[in-house]
Amino acid sequence: MQPSIIRDALLAPDADPLFAEARALRDRVFGREVFQRGVVEFSNHCRKNCHYCGLRAANTELQRFRLDAEAILDAARTAVELGMGTVVLQSGEEETADIRSIGDLIGRIKRLGDISVTLSLGDHSEDAYRYWRDCGADRYLLKMETFNPELHARLRPGQNVAERLARVETLCRLGYETGSGIITGLPDMTPEILAEDLRLLSGLPLDMIAVGPFIPHPQTPLKDAAAGRIDEALRATALLRLMNPTANIPATSALDALDAHGREKGLNAGANVIMPSVTPEPVRAGYNIYPGKNAAPEPVRQIVGRLQQRLRDAGYEPSSSRGASPAKNARQAGNT
């Protein structure tokens, strides 16, 4: 898709035809089954200082936590019992990530059942990525956030597009089902920048692509910036579906922070995955990337059960399949 066509679709007066087309394509490829990924947010320690994120190192008001191995395993077990076919291990970028113990955890989680394990642990060495893959990790999620070099460097101090992209390519080369994504509505992100981000994302050999709207966090430098618009995030979701028919595309949690039915709207714009947090009380509220994230003071089973009911009410069926991306299979078939 040409950047100008993407831009026009982002700005068109009526987005309903776009949503309908994306939904119909999702129905043809995935039906109404929604893959479920249970996210275990096991540590909110982070060495980085991304301007948009509440976990940034400079946020001294945040109470930091790290779950021990048994607590992580309990949360993973809860995810499996709740019907998730994938467990995602996610954390801030820890200063002293223990490569070996994360590897041990991957093996123990894989033995819980017929499930996939996704890692979302940020930037690490190629050796670490290879080791975790050899321990059984199936997927890795590393978001570009934006491909715009100037915006990326400004909002992600000390980081740049080229290095991040090289890491995403390393993950693909190592054989991970690789996911990436962007934040829509970042301050100074024009429709042209967003259109270019969507085009570049769609040019990568990704199995999973995520877009979520920016939500300002009070303990960050962007506290006074305007939030992203949900409509724009939904249009971006629909455009990604049209450009990536077989990719796994989540209805991101950030949509729910802007609208009580945000995730249903994401599915109705062509998404086919949900990624509920299964991080246990009382620490889950401490994984406060943006306001509203993990805010409900309730047990995990209740929160997830309600979300699953919401999906059924909206005409979808929560699936317990591992939900591997047909994109990878299609690529492999093309290579032989």
- In angstroms, what is the minimal distance from the CB of 55 to ligand 5AD? 7
Cis bond before residue 216 (omega within 30° of 0)? no
Q: Which helix (H) or strand (E) holds 195?
A: helix 191-202
Task: Examine residue 217 and tell whether it contacts ligand 5AD (CB under 6 A).
Answer: yes
What's the closest the beta carbon of residue 114 comes to ligand 5AD, in angstroms? 27
* Best CA proximity match to 121, nearest among 212, 35, 43: 43
Among 122, 216, 262, 323, binds ligand SF4 (CB under 6 A): 122
- Residue 50 sits in the site that holds ligand SF4 (CB under 6 A): yes
Nearest-angstrom CA–CA distance, 24 and 249? 14
Taking alpha carbons only, the member of 139, 141, 138, 75 closest to residue 112 is 75
Among 41, 94, 138, 145, binds ligand 5AD (CB under 6 A): 145
**SS3 (DSSP) at 257:** helix
Q: Which range binds ligand SF4 by CB under 6 A, 31-39, 50-58, 202-210, 314-322?
A: 50-58
- Picked from ligand 5AD, ligand SF4, none, the partner binding residue 201 (CB below 5 to 8 A depending on kind) is none
* Contacting residues for 190 by C-beta, under 8 A, at least 6 apart: none
Question: Rule CB under 6 A: which of 176-205 touch ligand SF4?
Answer: none
For residue 239, what is the enclosing H or E element? helix 230-243
Q: Which is nearer to ligand 5AD, 220 or 319 (CB)?
A: 220
If one asks whether residue 289 binds ligand 5AD (CB under 6 A), the answer comes out as: yes
DSSP, res 33: E
Task: Tell the smallest beta-carbon distance from residue 51 to ligand SF4 (Å).
Answer: 9
Helix axes 300-313, 69-81, angle to 10 degrees: 30
- DSSP-assigned letter for residue 226: P
Task: Please list every residue from 120 through 139 that binds ligand 5AD, using CB under 6 A.
Answer: none
- 37 forms part of the interface with ligand 5AD (CB under 6 A): no
Query: With binding defined as CB under 6 A, does residue 53 bind ligand SF4?
Result: yes
Work out the end-to-end distance of the chain between its first and last CA atoms, rounded to an integer number of angstroms: 27
**Tokens in use for 258?**
């802007």
Nearer to ligand SF4 by C-beta: 10 or 141?
141
Give the pair of three-digit tokens for residue 40. Answer: 């275990």
8 A C-beta contact, residue 240 and residue 19: no
Choices 71-79, 126-134, 211-219, 243-251 (CB under 6 A): range interacting with ligand 5AD: 211-219
Cα(144)–Cα(169) distance, integer angstroms: 11
Question: In angstroms, what is the minimal distance from the CB of 289 to ligand 5AD?
Answer: 5
Nearest to 88 by CA among 315, 333, 273, 318: 273
- Minimum distance from residue 12 beta carbon to ligand SF4 (Å): 31
Mask for 124-163, x = binds ligand SF4 (CB under 6 A): ----------------------------------------
- Which of helix, strand or coil describes residue 144? coil
**Residue 214 touches which of ligand 5AD, ligand SF4, none (CB < 5 to 8 A by kind)?**
ligand 5AD
Q: Which of residues 17-46 bind ligand SF4 (CB under 6 A)?
A: 46
Q: 68: which strand partners?
A: none
User: What is the contact surface with ligand 5AD in residues (CB under 6 A)?
Assistant: 52-53, 143, 145, 183, 212, 214-215, 217, 254, 289-290
User: What is the contact surface with ligand SF4 in residues (CB under 6 A)?
Assistant: 46, 48, 50, 53, 55-56, 92-93, 122
